[in-house]
């Protein structure tokens, strides 16, 4: 498993390394009150913040949050290795996962936007142009109204929910050109911001703030990547953020896991969800099925 982990212990969040917990020796990995959430890096900032806030209200319940990608989260929760599998995709969309054994808890909606290094002069692309860039048909920014500069593709790794959503909504069945791949949104954010000519895609939650300096989003067909446009499906590259659990789990673990997920879904988290760059599920004007069908909310 890759990426950082965050452990909510009372009123603090401690960094956890892959080899074990680092928290002054006061907390041990074998704690019966531990909730382990692994998977989507797009969901990781929200899951970690919720873990800290939950820890302040539930002394003795430790929530550990780790990235690794949606595929890893779904696979591990299905095998019983973790209590929560964080995912940007429906479990039924992941090969090798028995979705019937998992329970879906939708906790937020995330928009996904194409991002470029700030040196690129292009501000908007058509969907066809975006598809042609990622399929390798267009290789220079001058061909889409920009400067004479080679396009540098940065992709997410296979198993990424962000990549799955981007390809599903943009590529229309075409293969993505083989390119540099990164395991998480944070790595993509850093590389695009420092690589002239670079283009990739990021969850909205990674497109602003100090770490996003040096990159910017692109509009598609003159539609801007905003929460408002996601809510109406005018901006179509978006996904639910899921927290999956096994339907049959240990009673104590199940109690703590349910409490944590319920907290993430509560009205108390709504302001935080928006602040971190996500959209509350209740704010959506549409619903999307696992098949990709979008309908107006009732």
Mean pLDDT of 180-203: 94
250 pLDDT band, cuts 50/70/90, is low
The pLDDT of residue 26 is above 60: no
**Which pair of tokens denotes residue 75?**
């696979």
The average pLDDT across 274-290 equals 96
Distance CA 217, CA 204 (A): 9
Instruction: Specify the pLDDT at position 9.
Output: 37
pLDDT band at 218 (very low <50, low <70, confident <90, very high): very high
HEC string of 185-209? HHHHHHHHHHCCCEEEEEEHHHCCC
Give the β-pairing of 219-220 and 124-125.
parallel
- Please give the structure tokens belonging to residue 222: 């003159």
Q: How confident is the model at residue 274 (pLDDT cuts 50, 70, 90)?
A: very high
Cβ-contact 177, 88 below 8 angstroms? no
pLDDT of residue 248: 75
Task: List Cα–Cα distances, 174 to 132, 177, 192, in angstroms.
Answer: 9, 9, 23
In Å, what is the CA distance from 130 to each residue of 63, 104, 133, 142, 171? 39, 32, 5, 14, 8
pLDDT of residue 24: 29
- pLDDT score recorded for residue 48: 96
Which H or E run includes 165?
helix 161-170
Pairing of strands 20-21, 12-17: antiparallel
Provide mean pLDDT across the span 288-296: 93
Please list, in sequence order, all residues whose beta carbon lies within 8 angstroms of the beta carbon of residue 194, skipping any fewer than 6 positions away.
117, 214
Does residue 217 have a pLDDT over 70? yes
Of 185-199, 237-251, 283-297, minimum mean pLDDT range: 237-251
User: Which pTM value belongs to this model?
Assistant: 0.85
Sort 112 into a burial class: Cβ within 10 Å, 0-12 / 13-18 / 19+: buried
- Residue 33 Cα distances to 16, 54, 82, angstroms: 16, 13, 13
Task: Tell me the average pLDDT across 144-158.
Answer: 96
Distance, CA of 264 to CA of 256 (rounded, Å): 13
pLDDT at residue 32 tops 90: no
Whether residue 270 is predicted with pLDDT greater than 80 in this model: the reply is: yes
Q: Is the pLDDT of residue 17 over 70?
A: no
Q: Among 24-28, 83-87, 144-148, 217-221, which stretch is predicted with the lowest mean pLDDT?
A: 24-28
Write the burial class of residue 161 (CB in 10 Å: 0-12 exposed, 13-18 middle, 19+ buried). Answer: buried
């Amino acid at each position: 498993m890759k990426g950082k982990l965050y452990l909510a212990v009372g009123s603090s969040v401690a960094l956890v390394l892959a080899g074990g917990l680092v928290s002054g020796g006061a907390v041990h990995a074998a704690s019966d009150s531990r909730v382990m959430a692994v998977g989507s890096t797009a969901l990781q900032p929200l899951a970690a913040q919720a873990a800290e806030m939950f820890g302040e209200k539930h002394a003795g319940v430790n929530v550990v949050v780790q990235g690794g990608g949606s595929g890893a989260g779904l696979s591990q929760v299905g095998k019983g290795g973790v209590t929560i599998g964080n995912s940007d995709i429906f479990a039924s969309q992941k090969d090798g996962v028995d979705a019937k054994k998992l329970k879906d808890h939708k906790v937020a909606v995330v928009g996904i936007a194409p991002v470029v290094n700030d040196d690129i002069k292009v501000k908007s692309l058509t969907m066809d142009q975006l598809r042609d860039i990622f399929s390798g048909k267009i290789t220079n920014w001058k061909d889409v109204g920009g400067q004479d500069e080679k396009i540098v593709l940065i992709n997410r790794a296979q198993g990424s929910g962000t990549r799955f959503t981007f390809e599903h909504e943009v590529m229309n069945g075409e293969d993505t050109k083989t390119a540099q791949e990164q395991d998480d949104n944070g790595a993509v954010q850093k590389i695009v911001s420092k690589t002239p000519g670079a283009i990739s895609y990021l969850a909205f939650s990674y497109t602003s703030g100090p770490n996003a300096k040096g990159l910017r989003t692109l509009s598609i067909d003159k539609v801007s990547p905003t929460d408002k446009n996601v809510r109406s499906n005018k901006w179509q590259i978006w996904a639910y953020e899921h927290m999956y659990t096994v339907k049959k789990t240990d009673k104590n673990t199940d109690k703590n896991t349910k409490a944590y997920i319920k907290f993430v879904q509560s009205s108390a988290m709504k302001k935080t969800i928006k602040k971190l760059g996500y959209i509350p599920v209740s704010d959506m004007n549409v619903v999307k099925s696992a098949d990709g069908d979008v309908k107006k909310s009732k």
